[in-house]
Structure 1
Amino acid sequence: MVSNRNTASSRRLHLNAVIYGLGSHEAAWRMPESDPYASMTLDYWIDIAKRAEMSGFDALFLGDVLALQDEADKHLSSAMDPLVLLSALAAVTTQIGLIGTASTTFDHPFHLARRFGSLDHISKGRAGWNIVTSSNELEAHNFGLASMPDHQERYARADDVVTAVKALWQSWEVNARLADKINGRYFDNAAVHQVDHTGPYVRTRGPLNIPRPPQGHPVLAQAGSSPAGKAFAARHADIVFTVQSSLDEARTFYAEMKRLAAECGRNPGHLLVMPGIIPITASTKKHAEDRINAMNSFAVPEHLMAKLSSFLGRDLSGLALDAPFPTELLNAKGSQASRSRVDALLGIARRDRLSLRQLLMRLASGRGHLLAVGTGSDIASIMEEWFETGAADGFNVMCPVMPRDLQIFSELVIPELEKRGIRGPKSSDMLRERLGLPVI
């Protein structure tokens, strides 16, 4: 294995560009500068990938949900297959990592290992898998299930699936491919192995029908803040995508994840904690505040009310929008599908004493993630403090309206981070090495 590069002397703030359709804000598609049809064209994704690569982002990170959501009010929620998009983007980029989302609940490990292994080959070692267990009942219905398996069972299956995927990636030894033209031997039979994985949820004989990926294992990302999610990440993940809006809470989460990784026998430096950040940046703080207010003016309160009601598991439609958020709801646990998101949002409501309307706008603009509004220097200072005081190894940057806010972040924030010496030059085009992770 390659030794850990993420030492104190060379520690580097990592940045992923997380792209949700036309932007992370609920009303991104309604903004005057947005083309509502753009996200269904390849040109849109190529433009974003090239902007992010040019700006020095470590990876492009594509989320996914396997259902058309919000069927009642027909709110924008369409999404193309991340693996199809990332395969196309591998052909027009050379440096940026390509992280795509796929579900362990609905995908078989052989398909997962082959698809992400293939992406790693065609991108020359830039692939990553964002592991999700899926949680939406609509997704279950699309795959013929009456309901979603419970939280613990989904994570138990995920552990089984990921264990099988790793075994399949390892089924070819590093030098198994010979390509010996003289003797007519493409690979060494003794260096390609069956895996014969028989777990509680999945089985696969193996070996994989493509050689070992260039990175050994494509980078593994995971977002889960429940006890089961954190335990899973400590065993398997290279990147933890977390929802944090408070510095103190982020430090606590960071320390816990490093401790859990160590308890699993791992180097804590090989588990990168990367909170989501929603940057609203402009040349002045007043302009940035005007920008977020403009976005919020295009949000649809009825849609947000329905979404928050779903998160909390109770109908909020009869509540007064501008009254204080009801005290009895501030400790709601929410459904098993949204527990960590509910905790984050209600924590913000308690801390900032929000009204229902204000909480809806917070849901629209940040979904519980760190919302940073200000100049490039203001936002860089926030990121630097989190990085330097044990709250983050980097950030998943969730720009609210694409591609405008990605470009503004690149022009105003990234140069500030570089001036502060926490965004040094990249070490490699291979994603694992670029993130200071071992090639397995």
Structure 2
Amino acid sequence: MLRSFLGVAQTAERAKFDMLFLADGIGVRLDDKPKGSLCRSHHNVELEPLTLLSALAALTQNIGLVATASTTYNEPFHIARKYGSLDQISGGRAAWNVVTSWSDKEAWNFSMSKQLDYDTRYERAAEFVDVVTGLWDSWDEDAFIIDKETGVFFDDTKMHVLDHVGKHFSVRGPLSVRRSPQGRPILVQAGVSEPGQQIAAQHCDMVFMAKNDLKSAQDYYASVKDRLEGYGRQRGDLLMMLGLTPIVGRTRQEAQEKYEELESLIDPIVGLQLLYRSFGDLSHLPLDGPVPKPDLENVGLKSSAQMYYDLAQKQNLTIRQLYKKLGMAQEHKTVVGTAEDVADEMQSWFEAGAADGFNITPTHLPQGIDDFVELVLPELRKRGLFREEYEGQTLRENLGLPVPVSRYQQASTGNKLMAS
């Protein structure tokens, strides 16, 4: 299994991708509804992502290493230490995708009978991220003088004790990991809710977007970016990355044939399972009938449920057509065509202010990423839209993001801006 992940990571690095992203959930979250669907799903066993990325860090040089970790079933000190350690191991290439957990099945693995309510999850997440970023500021960059003559390891005026006491956490600090080579690990978020957008605007460096409609993407892009000034940040301090599933061929006919072959492989029972967490069990309904309205008060992911329903209404999709679309790319934008078609779409969304970049989500590996690297990247480079070489050593440098100033330096200088 490691060999498979390593092959993808090294392909992406040779192609000069910014980063490799591993999504994660804490347990098997899918229901066996309809009966027999769970054993047909590949979302059952997966490696713990930080362990995997630590192995990949030793076998790669430049590519960023991004993993999901939940604020619901972790403690801030654990997360700060683990990602801080990965950042040291990789030479400044670590990133944390911040999520709240939504599944009762995850709660059952942590001595709870049900998940936390929606408001509590996000309230806890906001405090969690504030504590983690505070812990990452525990040491100034030049704190460790390691003076052999005096026997002094660090300048004690450059160590900072957080002493956080809040509603959900009490964390003294300092963190037992030195300051990140990139100032702090990159923070990523993907929530579209109001509290999710606030967390992104206050703390994050990157947002993963899931949008199919250009106008909707532009509105969301502007909504998040417009919040930055309120936190003393500039619009370029946060990157908005659109999820994109390209199915590319040397001709449009070849690409369409690939799409149809992949679509034909989606088992109807697995398709209904994909819809279950948003719509409940639909197995009693005709597959070629309309998609019912979701009960938003009783679903795990409200934003996804609403997005799927809106998509079905806008495109007049049946249940079968919706699960096929989601089975190919979930909620991400799909482009089927030649390299020029894919590059045209990427360029138009970028230039229209709907995305700063793209999170490529292939339908299958390694073929999906191989096709993109072989066919699409040369076209993007020809247009001057993608790098030839990495610009720096750290992920933050390669993303062109400013290095965050320690909160203790801000307090002493009154400076609220980022330093590049």
Q: Report the counterpart of residue 411 of structure 1 in structure 2.
A: 374
The equivalent of 2:358 in structure 1 is: 395
Counterpart Cα distance in 2 of 1:261 and 1:279: 31
Letter in 2 for 1:195: L
For 2:229 and 2:337, locate their aligned partners in 1 and report how far apart those are by CA, in whole Å: 37
Aligned equivalent of 1:319: 285
Written as runs of structure 1 = structure 2, the 5 A alignment for 1:284-433 is: 284-312=251-279, 314-323=280-289, 325-326=290-291, 329-330=292-293, 333=296, 335-425=298-388, 426-433=390-397
Q: Secondary structure at the match of 2:95?
A: strand
Bigger relative CO (Cα 8 Å, ≥ 6 apart):
1
Could you tell me which residue of structure 2 aligns to residue 136 of structure 1? 103
- Structure 1 contact 82–101 (Cα < 8 Å) conserved: yes
Aligned pairs for 1:19-168 within 5 A: 41-70=1-30, 72=32, 73-74=38-39, 75-77=41-43, 78-168=45-135
How many Å apart are 1:334 and its aligned residue?
6.5
Equivalents in 2 of 1:93, 1:293: separation in Å? Answer: 35
1:236 & 1:334 partners in 2: Cα distance?
Answer: 28
SS of the aligned residue for 2:311 comes to: helix
Normalising by structure 1, what TM-score? Answer: 0.87
Does the 8 A contact of 1:176 with 1:191 survive in 2?
yes
Contact 2:294 2:305 in 1 (8 A): no
Distance in 2 of aligned mates of 1:224 and 1:182: 51
- Which whole-Å CA distance do the structure 2 matches of 1:427 and 1:182 have between them? 38
Q: 1:330, 1:350 within 8 Å by CA — same for their partners in 2? A: no
CA deviation profile, 1:289-348 (whole Å, cap 9, x unmatched) = 111211122212112213313212x3311221123x14xx24753744221112222222
* CA-CA distance at 1:205 after TM superposition: 1.0
Aligned counterparts of 2:31 and 2:307: Cα–Cα separation in 1: 26
Match in the other structure for 2:141:
174
Identity of aligned residues (%): 41
On the 8 A contact 2:278/2:294 being kept in 1, the answer is no
Q: Structure 1 counterpart of 2:374, which letter?
A: E
For residues 258-280 of structure 1, the C-alpha deviation after alignment (integer angstroms, 9 at most, x for no partner) is 10122332111111111111111
Report the RMSD for the aligned CA atoms in angstroms: 1.4
* Gapped regions of structure 2 (runs ≥ 5): 33-37, 405-420
Q: Name the structure 1 match of 2:400.
A: 436
Say if 1:322 and 1:355, in contact at 8 Å, map to a contact too: yes
In the alignment, the residues of structure 2 paired with residue 338 and residue 71 of structure 1 have an alpha-carbon distance, to the nearest angstrom, of 15
Shift of 1:428: 1.0
- Whether the aligned pair in 2 keeps the contact of 1:55 and 1:410 (CA below 8 Å) is yes
Q: Is the 8 A contact 2:103 2:300 kept in 1?
A: yes
Structure 2 CA distance for partners of 1:92 and 1:228, relative to 1, 3 Å: same
Amino acid at match of 2:343: A
Native 8 Å contact 2:137 2:179 kept in 1: yes
What secondary structure sits across from 2:296 in the alignment? coil
Matched, 1:209 2:176: yes
* Change beyond 3 A, Cα 1:239–1:336: farther
Aligned pair count? 396
Conservation of the 8 A alpha-carbon contact between 1:376 and 1:412: yes
Per-residue CA deviations over 1:97-137 (Å, capped at 9, x if unaligned) read 01111111111111111111111111111110001111111
SS in 2 for 1:184: coil
CA distance, structure 1, for counterparts of residue 323 and residue 9 of structure 2 = 31
Question: 1:331 and 1:254 mapped to 2: Cα distance?
Answer: 26
* Counterpart residue number, 1:29: none
**Deviations along 1:158-204, whole A, 9 cap, x unmatched?**
11111111111101011101121121111112211211111111111
